[in-house]
Amino acid sequence: MTVDLAIVNGTVVTPAGPQPLTVAVRQERIVALSDRAHCPAAREILDASDLHVLPGLVEGHVHFREPGLTQKEDFGSGSAAAVCGGVTTVIDMPNTVPPTADAQSLRQKQALAEAKSLVDFGLLGVILPNNLRQLRGLVEAGALGLKVFMGMTVGNLPAPEDGDILEAWRLAAELGIPVAVHAESSVLVHHCTERLRAGGRSDALAHYEARPEIAEEEAIQRAILLAAAAGARLHVLHVSTAQGAALVGAAKRRGGAVSAETTPHYLLLQSADAARLGNTMKINPPVRAAGHAEQLWQALRGGAIDSIATDHAPHLPEEKRRRNVWEAPSGFPGVETALPLMLTQVNAGRMRLEEYVRWHCENPARIWGLYPRKGVIQVGSDADLTLVDLSRRDVIRAANLHSKSKVTPYEGWEVQGVPVCTLVRGQIVMREGQLVGRPRGRMLWPSREARAGRASDDAARLA
């Protein structure tokens, strides 16, 4: 059999660990893994000497801002940043204009994305106080999951009442899709924000104080209880606190169908950095005080937290430069910087490469019902691959980012380990930091196994 592409001489990161293998690709799928001495006949050879071959990153949390906010980002610029960061699949959030709240808005976003995206993508629908009757159609149109914003965030979408959340999550359980939650108590955040504003506070640390740890802890606890009552599979987004991770871990030990993610900024930054970075670092939930990061690392190693995501949330530089914290939007880009930042941690001995692959490739694919099509290098999987040079050094510069948002809290950070080539379904789309592919991204639907509830078995295996 002649294959379309053979990737030779690389070290392939499989679930069993790094191995010297040749990867053969035919018709967008991996069709063979063999030792280096047995390379099949191939129309094209890609030499991966001195490189590690990873599954393409499955980025479980992005805001590509389309439709309605494309001055900040769109699927073209966002996916360009993604592939330059080794990301081949993204899960896009629903707080756009209009929000992804019904079948029509989802199909509109799908059409816009498929015309521009370099990566495959899944779309989440949003649960609002007034759209319960539209949710079934939204899922039937292809939503991978449903998201609730329990606290106010970009887009100012209102938080539903707990009764509405319970009914929506019962429907999600019936339809076999996961539910995701931005877990911050809107009541507590509003109370703290008004108190600080009344006191004249407008500095960057005021945002940190306006969203205290208890706001996340209360919302995660409430979400766990509601999901259990509804029989739904719960995914807690961007966990920022040690207490939040502990609550998820306790729910898992009780047998709950719960998963969670954290982000590079919660693992690598701390609230004191706001004195230097100002509103560049502003994000929801806020980066926490010293001590939380190490607890989040431990939660990853111990299985309380399952995955790493970026919460890629771009804004224009002039918006982020506003001095008044209440006028500056929350969020910053992350899909292009996460891989170098995390490979630097691999090189520093903080985690093994196969652990990182599990947290940023395999587990997100399992959570969103895409495994084993995505997130793993094995026969039958999509040929989504990222070749990285673990020894190469670089410096992160906002000016070099492919996102429309040329701003990052990691400006000037030295990294060791960079992506040098990215393939989406067997096509090279990035080589040495340059875009070389055409838009060919497809919307991803949950697998039949996931919809049938077997993804709950995957959730049990995440730890």
Q: Average pLDDT for residues 268-293, to the nearest whole number?
A: 96
Give pLDDT, residue 452.
65
Domain ranges across the chain: 3-53+380-435, 56-369
Give pLDDT, residue 463.
41
In 3-state terms, the chain is what percent helix, strand and coil (to 5)?
35, 25, 40
Peptide bond into 67 cis (omega under 30): yes
pLDDT bucket at 437, cuts 50 / 70 / 90:
confident
Give pLDDT, residue 80.
98
Give pLDDT, residue 151.
78
Give pLDDT, residue 180.
98
The class that CATH gives domain 56-369 is: alpha beta
- Which run of H or E residues covers position 12? strand 3-14
Nearest CA among 74, 120, 51 for reference residue 423: 120
User: Between these two residues, 393 and 155, which has the higher pLDDT value?
Assistant: 393
Q: Give the Cα separation of 82 and 105 in Å (integer).
A: 24
Position 461 pLDDT exceeds 70:
no
Give me the CATH topology for the region 3-53+380-435.
Answer: Urease, subunit C; domain 1 (2.30.40)
Q: Give the Cα separation of 408 and 333 in Å (integer).
A: 7
Token digits of residue 59: 């980025």
Check if the beta carbon of residue 150 is closer than 8 Å to that of residue 223: yes
pLDDT bucket at 455, cuts 50 / 70 / 90:
very low
Give pLDDT, residue 15.
84
Average pLDDT, the chain: 95
Peptide bond into 333 cis (omega under 30): no
Position 458 pLDDT exceeds 70:
no
Give pLDDT, residue 445.
92
Torsion of CA 349, 352, 357, 363, to 10 degrees: -110
Instruction: Work out whether strand 427-431 and strand 307-308 pair parallel, antiparallel, or are unpaired.
Output: unpaired
How many other CB atoms are found less than 10 A from the CB of residue 276? Answer: 10
pLDDT bucket at 451, cuts 50 / 70 / 90:
low
For 36-47, write each residue's pLDDT tens digit.
777 889 999 999
What percent of the chain has pLDDT above 90?
Answer: 92
Q: 53-67, 151-165, 215-229, 335-349 — which is least confidently predicted?
A: 151-165
Give pLDDT, residue 36.
73
Give pLDDT, residue 462.
55
Cα angle 198-200-203, degrees, rounded to a multiple of 5: 125
User: Between these two residues, 26 and 453, which has the higher pLDDT value?
Assistant: 26
For 186-221, write each residue's pLDDT tens digit.
999 999 999 999 999 999 999 999 999 999 999 999
242-253 and 292-302 helices, crossing angle to 10°: 20
Beta-bridged to residue 35, according to DSSP, are 21
Give pLDDT, residue 410.
98
Q: Average pLDDT for residues 151-164, to the nearest whole number?
A: 83
Position 136 pLDDT exceeds 90:
yes
Q: Cα–chain-centroid distance for residue 267? A: 14
Give pLDDT, residue 450.
61
Please report, for residues 119, 338, 463, the alpha-carbon distance to residue 87 in angstroms, rounded to integers and kept in the order given: 8, 9, 23
Q: 4-8, 416-420, 451-455 — which is least confidently predicted?
A: 451-455
